[in-house]
Amino acid sequence: MKPIIAAAMAAALFAAAPLGAHETADWIRLGNYRGSDNLLCCGADDCAVVAPGEIRRLPDAWLHVPTGTTLHDSQPGAYASRDEKMWRCVRGGRLRCVFTGAGT
């Protein structure tokens, strides 16, 4: 009986393991947010909390430093964050959406 309990506990722990950065961005995926090309901002592993220095504010745009791509204020894709953290969605080597938090 103990091996069965141990196996059940191991399966439960595996199922409860951290789901990764994308799973915490489910509010973006479920919110139907879209970029300038009208495609959803969030696909598998596209969105994450912004790392320090990853996004830079320009006078009229957001620059994603690692890819060198910008999202202009006149384009769809800049939204307010629901959790006050700054998020970015990058797909195909370009910044698709940015979600700004408090103080950004």
pLDDT single digits (tens) 63-96 = 999 999 999 988 899 998 988 899 999 988 889 9
Question: Count of domains in the chain?
Answer: 1
Domain presence at residue 7: no
Domain presence at residue 57: yes
Q: What is the pLDDT of residue 103?
A: 55
pLDDT single digits (tens) 25-47 = 888 988 889 988 888 998 778 89
H helices of the chain, in order, are 2-15, 21-24, 26-30
Question: Which value, in Å, is the radius of gyration of the alpha carbons in the chain?
Answer: 18
Domain containing 96 equals 21-100
Q: What is the pLDDT of residue 104?
A: 58
In terms of pTM, does the model score above 0.85?
no
DSSP 8-state code for residue 16 = T
C-alpha separations of 70 from 10, 78, 87, 96, 97 in Å: 45, 11, 14, 9, 10
Say how far apart CA 3 and CA 41 lie, in whole Å: 45
Q: What is the pLDDT of residue 9?
A: 42
